Structure 1
Amino acid sequence: MSTSGTDRSDRILTVPNVLSVLRLLLIPLFLYLLLEREADGWALAVLLVSGATDWLDGKLARALDQSSRLGALLDPFVDRLSVVTTLLAFSLRGIIPWWVTAILIGRDLILAGTILVYRRRGLPPPDVIYLGKAATFVIMIALPVLLGATGDSQVAEVLSPIGHALLLWGTALYVWTGILYTYKAVLVGATVPVSDRAAHDA
């Protein structure tokens, strides 16, 4: 008997969801290796595996037709948690400056607040800006490059300027797209009335 799209959307045990849970479990291991043991090579390996599973779960969800409601919530949650913990850990180790971490996390907190503007008007969240995806991608490349730049080897000397350039470029794009998202939310707030249901709940 075939499974309907609705039934599939309620599934929990799927390959993409397993990969998301694996990524979640890798976070404390990464923090232990980076902060407690300062085993940068192993921490880098865990970071790369985490990035690979992040790429794979989206691909497999589409290829295997295993998109699910749980995955739609779990995947972005793990993504954000992974990014935040990695940034904080890197700053604690002195790999990246605290002001970069504050800007990147602060941008996400501000945008999380703008979602309320759309919800109060009964609207879905705004479409993802392609430049925002590019900014995230650049930052996700910069972090392992910077981790690979720790130490005193010749490889580290080569990777360090590349990693810092990628980090600064990605941060600039991240801030710019944050401004664009915020501007969109301000326009919606100024032009679209609050839905009757939201007004009643308030």
Structure 2
Amino acid sequence: MAEEELEKEALKLKPTNRIVTWPNLVSLFRLISIPFIAVLISHDYLLWGLVLLAFSALTDALDGFLARKLNQITKLGQILDPIADRLLIFCSILALGTSGFIPWWFLLVVGARDLMLGVVIIILAQFGYGPLPVHFVGKTATAMIMADIPLLMISGLGTAPIFGLLATAGTALAIWGVVMYWIAGIIYVRQAIGLVRGTLREQRAAH
């Protein structure tokens, strides 16, 4: 019970209503870069797309660091950061699928998981909770997928045997990343169910 209470308190953060902060600007840059990355990949400008993708991916860690370091945790930032991460992955995979580097089932599986968690976040918001804290399985899965995207892009830069090996390694990494992505999604759903049930019990007890 004590652990559940601590988890609830951790989720019920009190971010500010500020809009213009350094972390939010970093997240905004990541959002703006997404369509450019997708266009570059889909038009076979893989090298430039890879450079922009790598730079954009680095900002994922930067905005969180700045938010904690500068004490600039905001409500807008809590929304922008996960949206930017999901869109960066989804649009990059969409562009790679359009270019024929990955099968379409990969996009569908990743998209279905993110749609499920989007519904979970909306439900939690109705009970006064913010986004669930990131689980290490989720961090690992996201890192694997983000590493897989440039790997597949590099494999399309040439026809030498080494590029074929990179494509095979990228496909294997994609499969493992998707499996862990869904495991993390199930963990988040179970956490959300526990929080909602706990809140409903408290409401019934109060009445």
Question: After TM superposition, is the score higher than 0.5?
Answer: yes
Q: Which amino acid aligns with 1:71?
A: G
Deviation for aligned residue 1:123: 4.7
- 1:104 is the counterpart of 2:110: yes
* Structure 1 residues 17 and 152: CA distance shift in structure 2, 3 A: same
Show the 5 A alignment for 1:52-201. 52-150=58-156, 151-186=158-193, 193=200
Q: Distance in 2 between matches of 1:143 and 1:82?
A: 10
Structure-1-length-normalised TM-score: 0.80
Structure 1 residue identity aligned to 2:167: S
Q: Distance in 1 between matches of 2:66 and 2:196?
A: 37
Q: Distance in 2 between matches of 1:83 and 1:96?
A: 13
Q: CA deviation at 1:12?
A: 2.9
How far apart are 1:147 and its partner, in Å? Answer: 0.7
Q: Which range moves more in the overlay, 176-185 or 132-141?
A: 176-185
Q: 1:26 to 1:189 in 2, by over 3 A?
A: closer
Question: Separation in 1 of the partners of 2:182 and 2:108?
Answer: 12
**Aligned position for 2:16:** 9
Deviation at 1:121, TM superposition (A): 4.4
Q: What residue number does 1:45 align with?
A: 51
Q: State the 1:62 CA deviation.
A: 2.1
Displacement of 1:104 in angstroms is 0.8
The farther-off stretch of 98-107 and 158-167 is: 158-167
Letter of the 1:141 counterpart:
A
Tell me, yes or no, if the aligned pair for 2:89 and 2:145 is still in contact at 8 Å. Answer: no
SS in 1 for 2:200: coil
Which is further off, 21-30 or 182-191?
A: 182-191
Stretch moving more, 59-68 or 90-99: 59-68
Cα pair 1:121 1:195 within 8 Å, conserved? no
Q: 1:195 to 1:113 in 2, by over 3 A?
A: farther
In 2: Cα distance, 1:47 partner to 1:126 partner: 26
Q: Distance in 2 between matches of 1:66 and 1:124?
A: 16
Segments of 5+ residues of structure 2 without an aligned counterpart are 1-13
- Secondary structure, counterpart of 1:56 in structure 2: helix
Aligned residue identity for 1:22: F
Q: Which of 18, 22, 34 is the matching residue for 2:41?
A: 34
The 1:114–1:21 alpha-carbon spacing in structure 2 relative to 1, beyond 3 Å, is closer
Kindly indicate whether the alpha-carbon contact (under 8 Å) linking 1:115 and 1:125 is maintained by their aligned counterparts in 2. Answer: yes
User: What does residue 200 of structure 1 align with?
Assistant: none
